[in-house]
Amino acid sequence: MNMKNFINGIWTTSASNKTTDIINPGNLQDKVGTFQDSTEEDLQQAIQSAKNAKTPWRKLSGATRGQYLYKAADILEKNADEVAEIATREMGKTLPETKGETARGVAILRYYAGEGMREEGDVIPSTDSDALMFTKRFPLGVVGVITPWNFPIAIPLWKTAPALIYGNTVVIKPASESPITFAKIAECFEEAGLPAGVLNVVTGKGSVIGNGLSIHKEVNGVTFTGSNAVGRTIGANALQRGAKYQLEMGGKNPVIVEKDADLEAAADATISGAFKSTGQKCTATSRAIIHQDIYEEVKQLLVEKTQKIAVGDSLEKDVWMGPCASKSQLDNALNYIEKGKEEGAALLCGGEQIEDSNGYYLKPTIFDQVDNNMTIAQEEIFGPVIALMPYSTMEHALDIANDVDYGLSAAIFTKNVQNMLSFIDDMDAGLVRVNAESAGVELQAPFGGMKQSSSHSREQGQAAQEFFTDIKTVFVK
Ligand SMILES: NC(=O)C1=CN([C@@H]2O[C@H](COP(=O)(O)OP(=O)(O)OC[C@H]3O[C@@H](n4cnc5c(N)ncnc54)[C@H](OP(=O)(O)O)[C@@H]3O)[C@@H](O)[C@H]2O)C=CC1
Ligand SMILES: CCCCCC(=O)O
């Protein structure tokens, strides 16, 4: 597919007349398509279209806006297999995972379609008995959406759907590794009859189009998911001009395995959390903090299970883990593996690229003898690499778990209620999961990080309303 930009309801080529190829990271002979290498001129057109569309879109009832989302959901569901396959070919996630993500996208659209008929304010008794006082929510206006490649369906939709249902218009810049996937989703909105200018898609370099969205005075809010380095820039740009911004960023997520845990279940969840999606989830497990009494047993379980993982072409039926999403992701993970060895960690398994492969394949990797001050225990690797560390007491485990700049998700395996309560209360993370892996975001619940994982708003569920609307307090006498 040679993707064009979607501006004012029309698929258009960029003013640059340049395109960039998308190559399947799991099969370097497979050219998925091309996307527009857009310019600030293209972005200006998109923002102007969104601005022109925002008042009529806002003035529709929430129920009417919801009908567009319900239709888009039905169309996406009809095209799910095609969308999933394109996502797999663009960024290397296995087909079962992209099919599951597409189903999640359909559910997200339907969830927010329903939001169009739910309450949007409160009646608050005034001290003046002759007056009526209430709150009412209003859309921000034009919302800029900047998304990463690792969830090319779910993340753009869990931003775009609430933005639209709460009355905003959208200009989205999808990640350059996975733009065609969102183009297919935009086609679903187009087929649903979404009015021109309500949703606009502009592809291209983040430093041009993404940055342009963060600095443009007609973009009233910016929602971003991606790395901390980029998020900080976007947040600073938005703050500079008084725009609302939402940043969801990196993680360094721990699993604590207590000595009373179901060790088999804990090992399975650690493997899944660490290596599903090739470890490229912000909620991925990257540290396993294991009680010293069962450390050797759990370590052995993890190595045995890891060495059985089928790594290969994500389109193949029996493949459990696909390639890294790009050469830069592969090189980034290999650099961290070298750093781990330099700093004295012990490589238990994996740690190298799969040679003679036709893609960016990395063996799932486990490090032992890791000190929490090491780089591989502190920095987000965003690849299939996990660091094992022992602990003695629950207090010690939580000290290690919290001793990072991030606070996105965390897990514990234990049967002891007091351990569960201590973990829930004292683990500084936005998503804490007991006897379940660290990944596991549900669309109906608030999602976001603490510390440097987030700008501290929450996405998903009804929490999304807080970002995508402003509240007016109304007094009538
Ligand atoms: N907290 C969360 O919920 C999640 C966090 N993440 C994080 O995202 C990262 C991986 O995703 P990745 O896409 O590589 O992240 P990046 O931060 O590299 O890119 C994210 C998006 O930002 C764009 N971008 C790049 N530079 C700029 C800029 N200067 N101004 C504005 N936009 C810019 C990118 O465009 P382009 O593609 O063209 O470079 C892309 O669309 C990891 O750190 C991961 O933890 C991922 C998923 C969820
Ligand atoms: C962007 C984060 C997505 C997390 C997917 C999960 O944990 O289910």
ipTM: 0.96
pTM of the model: 0.98
Q: What is the DSSP letter of 195?
A: P
Average pLDDT rounded to a whole number, residues 325-335: 98
- pLDDT at 356 (0 to 100): 84
Using the mean position of ligand 1's atoms as its centre, give its distance from the Cα of residue 230 in Å.
7
Using the mean position of ligand 2's atoms as its centre, give its distance from the Cα of residue 213 in Å.
24
Q: Is 408 in the pocket of ligand 1 (CB under 6 A)?
A: yes
Q: Is 251 in the pocket of ligand 1 (CB under 6 A)?
A: yes
List Cβ neighbours of 418 (8 Å cut-off, separation of 6 or more): none
Distances (CA, A) of 246 to 159, 304, 448, 455: 10, 41, 10, 6
Using the mean position of ligand 2's atoms as its centre, give its distance from the Cα of residue 57 in Å.
30
- Pocket residues for ligand 2 (CB within 6 Å)? 151, 155, 281-283, 439-441
CA-proximal residue: ligand 2, atom 1 (nearest): 282
Cβ pair 366, 302 in contact under 8 A = yes
Residue ranges of domains in the chain, CATH in brackets: 5-249+454-476 (3.40.605.10), 253-434 (3.40.309.10)
Separation CA 172–CA 189 (nearest Å): 13
Helix %, strand %, coil % of the chain (to 5):
40, 20, 35
Q: Is 272 in the pocket of ligand 1 (CB under 6 A)?
A: no
Residue % of the chain over a pLDDT of 70: 100
Span 190-206, pLDDT tens digits: 999 999 999 999 999 99
Q: Crossing angle for the helix pair 179-191 and 62-78, nearest 10 degrees?
A: 120
pLDDT at 407 over 90: yes
Banded pLDDT at 409 (limits 50, 70, 90): very high
pLDDT at 280 over 90: yes
pLDDT at 112 over 90: yes
Structure tokens at 326: 């790009």
Cβ pair 389, 340 in contact under 8 A = no
Separation CA 160–CA 231 (nearest Å): 18
Written as one letter, the residue type at 394 is: M
Span 2-27, pLDDT tens digits: 999 999 999 999 999 999 999 999 99
Separation CA 223–CA 206 (nearest Å): 14
Span 464-476, pLDDT tens digits: 999 999 999 999 9
Average pLDDT rounded to a whole number, residues 53-61: 98
Separation CA 437–CA 416 (nearest Å): 17
**Which residue among 155, 441, 458 has the greatest number of ligand 2 atoms within 8 angstroms of its CB, and so is best to mutate?**
441
Q: Is 235 in the pocket of ligand 1 (CB under 6 A)?
A: no
For residues 245-282, b (16+ Cβ closer than 10 Å) or e, as one string? bbbbbbbbbbbbbbeebebeebbebbbbbbbbbbbbbb
Q: In the predicted model, what is the mean pLDDT of the chain?
A: 98
Separation CA 464–CA 379 (nearest Å): 28
Q: Crossing angle for the helix pair 394-402 and 417-426, nearest 10 degrees?
A: 30
By annotation, the residues acting in catalysis are: 248
Banded pLDDT at 142 (limits 50, 70, 90): very high
CA-proximal residue: ligand 1, atom 5 (nearest): 249
List Cβ neighbours of 111 (8 Å cut-off, separation of 6 or more): 161, 443, 444
